[in-house]
Amino acid sequence: MGAMETKGTKGAKGTKRSEGSEGSRGAVKTGAGARRGRSVPWLVLGLWIGVLAIVGPFAAKLSEVQHNRITDYLPANADSTRVARTQDELPGGETTQLVLVYHRDGGLTAADRTTAAGQVDRIAGGHVLTATPKGVPSADGTTLMYPVTSNEPGTDEKKRDALVNDVRQVAHTEGGLSVEVGGPGALATDAAGVYNSLGGPLLYTTVAVVALLLILIYRSPVLWLVPLVVAGIADFLSTGVAYGLNQAFGTTISGQSTGIMTILVFGAGTDYALLLVSRYREELRRFERPYDAMTAALRGCGPAVLASSGTVAAGVLCLLAADLNSSRSMGPLGTVGVLCALVAMLTLLPAILVLLGRRVFWPLVPAYGSTPKARRLSLFTAMGSSAGRRPLVVLASGAVLLGALALGMLNLPGPGKQEDSFVDKPDSVVAMESLAKAYPDRGSQPISVITPAGKADKTLTAIRGADGISVARKERTGHGWTEITVFAKDAPQSAAETATIERLRENLKGSYVGGPSAQQIDLVDTNARDVWVVVPIVLLSVLLILIGLLRSLVAPLMLVAAVVAVWGASLGIGGLVFGPLLGFHGTDPGLGLLSFVFLVALGVDYGIFLMHRMREEALRGAEPAAAALTALRTTGGVIASAGLVLAATFAVLTNMGLVQLVELGFVIAVGVLLDTFLVRTYLVTSASVALGRRVWWPGALSRGPGPDAPDAVRPKRQPEPV
């Protein structure tokens, strides 16, 4: 290594003479630069310590404002949302509706009925119920159902969960008599339990996955730890900023949105770190001092990182246009995650790397003046060569493959029911399945109708006379409203029950129809509306950013078309996996929109890395084909590493207990891998080769070499007269 360093030093002297031949003034600059190289990183580190000290108390409070109430996920202006909010205002606040299901395969005995009645009496004696529960036997005599409604918890989720857990303790299995607790309240408690358990496991699993990949990528016992620690600090900062948004603007904080924020911080942040560290390693061979090398690295890759993060942030922020609360809340939190990761990776990471010096790369230390070890034939050189030889064939083959995969969308399950939301069936889901079997001709899930108090009797009469209604009764009155609980004749969330709810909404003017089944209808309808609103906004925002960055119209359109194709193929693969392999009975209504937003924003992110380097080569005078292949060769490894990290972080969601998170994580992870190893390497490269200079139309590069081209390819200027 000593010989290499000696050789590098000689080269360095020559480099210094050629770069800065200003005599003594150059020496002054060198001294000033040395002082900056020592002071600036420490100043940045000190600023970050101060910021974290300020943010710390707020970050610790984020869990206090995180809620997983149904109103945090429902459409903002739907009937079911108005019902839920009005229930909060009625005496006692929001009601908790439960169903106790007693069952024995051979038929219930008299002792079983006595046991069930005794347990229900103990529940009624220990809690405030709106009415005395009455048992409803099944036709075959095997099952006894007790609807239980309480307004004791009010709007407090902890009290609701305490009620559900207490009811489950009282209603326990005895002597072969099985008992399950279901209903909307139990479903909400089980869902909240899964969401509340996400924080720790999600963070730890994400950190472990990213750490493992960084160790494999860097092959260094120290270097992998630096971006990982910085990503953790960025995640801590994002929680404090998210709490500030909640306090200042009332931004909804849910388990789903905070989980996605963490994934984006580690995924996107690590991607930016990979790009910066790769460029920094290159510059350390050209500059003697780490500070100068880092300055050059930031100048070289900074615009691409800024543009890519801006694209992701702008794309995710477009979710603010969604009407669905769960989608809209992801907009600001996802943006916060991306921007916190950006700031940390462009300030704190460079400062730490400069302070640690070259030794942070041990054992593969990039010596000053050295050249990287030449490889016989890199993977991306081979891939680029194949794409460059027959670009149209490669492009057509890739398009056919993506189109074929997209056909799998036809096999996607329909919108899932609420009980289909869990990977492992909790007690509440088992109870609902038992009810569906025991009461095939009767609805077991309440429909809530909120009507003006002055017309309550008229509304009740109209409901009882409507088709598809089994039972209807008044529950509470207050604040000018009356709540009516309705049971349909048909199974929950069946086509027949859906038709009953829609008839009620059409006929009961001035009243609002809600409840779990109505909420699911509103979720599906609102997501369909949000797709038509949000998707065009996302595409337009991303296009404008790309046009401004690449100074072209063709290249941005090509990148956007590519990521849209990836989205379709990813959903198609999901259709081949969710039902046949994973056994999911439905898809989350928001899967299409959320996966589109994230895949377009994140996919274009990698396109920016590739096209920005391609544009650099074109500005230096490289021919279009050479520029495309050079860009792939130099950025392919970094993009592949970044893609693997990002896909792995989203794949962490597939280990969570909610189907909607599993599906979202799977589709995005698959999409990122398709984008990284098929679209970026083959399709975008082959399309760029095929289009030639037209890829930069109507910019100046479409008409000839760039202004930075060497004399060999640029038109020579005539010597000016002396």
Strands of the sheet containing 143-150, edge to edge, are: 136-137, 143-150, 96-103, 178-182
pLDDT tens profile 410-452: 998 888 777 778 888 888 888 888 888 888 766 667 888 999 9
The DSSP code for 222 is: T
47-65: average pLDDT: 89
Please state the φ and ψ torsions of residue 372, each to the nearest 5 degrees: -65, 150
Q: How far apart are CA 97 and CA 99, in angstroms?
A: 7
Give pTM, 2 decimals.
Answer: 0.82
Residue 199 has what pLDDT? 65
- pLDDT value at 4 more than 50: no
Write the Ramachandran bin of 154: left for phi over 0, alpha for psi from -120 to 50, otherwise beta. Answer: left
Residue 7 has what pLDDT? 36
Q: How far apart are CA 27 and CA 313, in angstroms?
A: 43
What's the start-to-end Cα distance of the chain, in Å?
51
In the numeric block, which tokens belong to residue 549?
């960055």
Place of tokens 């246009």: 321
Between CA 696 and CA 703, with CA 698 as vertex, the angle to 5 degrees is 70
Contacts of 4 (CB under 8 A, 6+ apart): 367, 369, 370
- pLDDT value at 22 more than 50: no
Q: At 337, is the pLDDT very low, low, confident or very high (cuts 50, 70, 90)?
A: very high
- 196 or 473, greater pLDDT: 473
- pLDDT value at 31 more than 90: no
pLDDT tens profile 472-481: 888 778 888 8
Q: How far apart are CA 528 and CA 327, in angstroms?
A: 12
In the chain the domains, ranked by start, together with CATH numbers, are: 220-374 (1.20.1640.10), 389-411+528-703 (1.20.1640.10)
Q: How far apart are CA 57 and CA 49, in angstroms?
A: 14
Contacts of 484 (CB under 8 A, 6+ apart): 448, 449, 450, 451, 456, 459, 460, 463, 472, 473, 474, 475
152-167: average pLDDT: 78
Contacts of 692 (CB under 8 A, 6+ apart): 624, 625
- pLDDT value at 498 more than 50: yes
pLDDT tens profile 614-653: 888 888 888 878 888 888 887 777 788 888 888 888 888 8
Of 91-95, 101-105, 215-219, give the lowest mean pLDDT range.
91-95
Q: How far apart are CA 331 and CA 593, in angstroms?
A: 12
pLDDT tens profile 255-295: 888 888 988 899 889 889 988 998 898 899 999 899 999 99
Q: At 198, is the pLDDT very low, low, confident or very high (cuts 50, 70, 90)?
A: low
Q: How far apart are CA 134 and CA 147, in angstroms?
A: 7
Residue 669 has what pLDDT? 93
Place of tokens 């108390």: 57
The mean pLDDT of the chain is: 83
